[in-house]
Amino acid sequence: MARAIVLMMDSFGVGATADADKFGDVGADTFGSIARVCAEGGAEVGRSGPLSLPNLSRLGLARLAYGSTGKVPAGFNLEEEVVGAYGFAAELSSGKDTPSGHWEMAGVPVLFDWGYFTDKQNSFPKELTDKILKRAGLTEFLGNCHASGTVILERLGEEHMRTGAPIFYTSADSVFQIACHEETFGLEKLYELCQIAREELTPYNIGRVIARPFVGQSAMDFARTGNRKDYAVKPPAPTVLDKLAEDGGSVISVGKIADIYAHSGITDMVKATGLEALWDATLKAVDEAKDHSLVFTNFVDFDSSYGHRRDLNGYASALEYFDTRLPELMERLKADDIVIITADHGCDPTWTGTDHTREHVPVILFGPGVTPGDLGKRDTFADIGQSLASHFRLTPMEYGTSFL
């Protein structure tokens, strides 16, 4: 019996996909852009010089990025010995959103089109917001537009505190986001409002409602908290998580994984906020996980704190921190364990706007029994789900080719 650990680096893309033109993302390259700006000396706050990721490099990160883009990321080389199996994967799903990426890597690509609120202003139908407000016992709301979640707090957070009107906003993703002050509005009240919105959004085919609680006194110091909660719909078919749980295995969610799969196929759940706490929780879960377990962690900060914020310096520091924790995982592995490092989409911090970017994701595989080498280009993230199915000796998934 075996175990698997999946480290999901949210938004860590490694170069635009062949279909990036459909998304306005030709040339986007989250990893490559960060490496370039660091090597140029453009990310010197709290860190310095070329991007330093010695452990990810040894596992094959630079080589797979070269495979994806045809360029060696600045400050990296292809000469050093590689101890992991490495490749990069394109996305079959129609969107570049978080649930699509996660479901596809668990073997279930999203082949239908999500609903989107495409208008940048007056984004939501009045009929929808009227229903949500009425059921929640509220009379007005703020926002009704596409926005960056931190910018909209600066703009409307104080008015929200004064009036008690929730802030509704969206983005290029299939999302309906609600920002409310944790203390003046109340966290439980926000969660109830999100649950109502989730129900009312069913006919609109929207992938996620996201609760965006924040704290602070004024626009000068508003800060979003770790009490963010995602209300996703259920994946359209059983994922490899469902299969493993049904087979008597354990599926241990660390961070927001459980929410992204609408809790389907999750047997255990650990919440943690911030990269350090997510790493600590991951290592603890690995220490405690029995055979036939999957430990699955979403490292959301790359995306929410740095990618969407277009904070390249912060993204670089976070990557360097992530890299320093890898040896602690390596020393804990048992003979049959495998580790997969991947991502769900890109979010290039040098790109225009604040949305995700359509990119290849890294696929890194290592463990005591894994033969190092080139896994090449994978046509779908579902190759990960298929490999997990094979590793856990489950019946094969409908999509994907195992690389094991």
Ligand X SMILES: O=P(O)(O)O[C@H]1O[C@H](CO)[C@@H](O)[C@H]1O
Binding residues vs Mn ion (CB under 5 A): 10, 98, 303, 344
User: Based on the number of CB atoms within 10 Å of its own CB, is 19 exposed (0-12), middle (13-18) or buried (19 or more)?
Assistant: middle
What 90-95 contacts at long range (C-beta under 8 Å, 24+ apart), as own/partner pairs, is 90/17, 90/18, 90/19, 90/360, 90/377, 90/378, 90/379, 90/380, 91/17, 91/345, 91/358, 91/361, 91/380, 91/381, 92/379, 92/380, 92/381, 92/382, 92/399, 93/381, 95/173, 95/174, 95/207
User: Can you tell me which residue has the tokens 């003979």?
Assistant: 335
Choose the binding region for ligand X from 126-134, 167-175, 264-272, 276-284 (rule: CB under 6 A): 167-175
User: In whole angstroms, what is the distance from residue 389 CA to residue 265 CA?
Assistant: 14
> Of ligand X, Mn ion, none, which one does residue 36 interact with (CB within 5 to 8 Å by kind)?
none
Contacted entry of ligand X, Mn ion, none for residue 344, CB cut-off 5 to 8 Å set by kind: Mn ion
Shortest Å, Cβ 234 to ligand X = 18
Site size toward ligand X, by CB under 6 A: 12
Chain residue whose CB lies nearest ligand X:
149
When the beta carbons of 340 and 370 are compared against Mn ion, the nearer one is: 340
Q: Which amino acid type is present at position 68?
A: S
391 annotated as ligand-binding? no
175 contributes a contact to ligand X by CB under 6 A: yes
Residue 308 touches ligand X, criterion: CB under 6 A: yes
Position 102 contacts ligand X (CB under 6 A): no
Nearer to ligand X, 89 or 211 (CB): 211
Q: How far is the CB of 251 from ligand X (least distance, A)?
A: 22
Least distance in angstroms from the C-beta of 175 to Mn ion: 9
Rounded to a whole number of angstroms, the minimum distance from the CB of residue 210 to ligand X is 6
Q: Which structure tokens are listed for 60?
A: 């094959």
Ligand-binding annotation for 344, yes or no, is yes
Burial label, 389 (beta-carbon count in 10 A; 0-12, 13-18, 19+) = buried
Q: Which residues pair with 254 in a beta bridge?
A: 270, 297
Rounded Cα distance, 341 and 90, in Å: 15
Position 298 contacts ligand X (CB under 6 A): no
Q: Which is nearer to ligand X, 64 or 110 (CB)?
A: 110
- In the bound complex, what is the minimum distance in angstroms from residue 386's beta carbon to ligand X? 26
Q: How far apart are CA 344 and CA 356, in angstroms?
A: 10
Residue 292 counted as an annotated binding residue: no
For residue 171, state whether it binds ligand X (rule: CB under 6 A).
Answer: yes
Asked if 98 interacts with ligand X (CB under 6 A), we say yes
Residue 308 labeled ligand binder? yes
Stretch that binds ligand X, among 62-70, 101-109, 171-179, 213-221 (CB under 6 A): 171-179
Longest Cα pair distance anywhere in the chain, in angstroms?
Answer: 63
Residues 95 and 91: their CA atoms lie apart, in Å, by 9
The helix (run of H) or strand (run of E) holding residue 325 is helix 312-330
Residue 304 within binding range of ligand X, rule CB under 6 A: yes
Residue nearer to ligand X on the CB measure, 99 or 107: 99
Where does residue 186 rank: exposed (0-12), middle (13-18), buried (19+ CB within 10 A)? middle
Q: Which of 25, 91, 104, 173 lies at the binding interface for ligand X (CB under 6 A)?
A: 173
Instruction: Note whether 94 binds ligand X by CB under 6 A.
Output: no
**Choices 46-54, 160-168, 277-285, 300-308 (CB under 6 A): range interacting with ligand X:** 300-308
Residue placing its CB nearer to ligand X in the complex, 177 or 239: 177
Cβ proximity to ligand X, 117 vs 366, nearer residue: 117
Which single residue brings its beta carbon nearest to Mn ion? Answer: 98
The stretch among 168-176, 181-189, 332-340, 388-396 that binds ligand X (CB under 6 A) is 168-176
Token pair, residue 387, equals 């490999």
Nearer to Mn ion, 98 or 293 (CB): 98
Which of 347, 388 has the CB closer to ligand X?
Answer: 347
Instruction: Tell me if 57 sits within 8 A of 364, measured CB to CB.
Output: no
CB atoms closer than 10 angstroms to residue 79: 7
Q: What are phi and psi of 243, to 5 degrees?
A: -65, -40
Binding site for ligand X (CB under 6 A): 98, 148-149, 171, 173, 175, 177, 212, 303-304, 308, 354
The binding site for Mn(2+) consists of 10, 303, 308, 344-345, 356
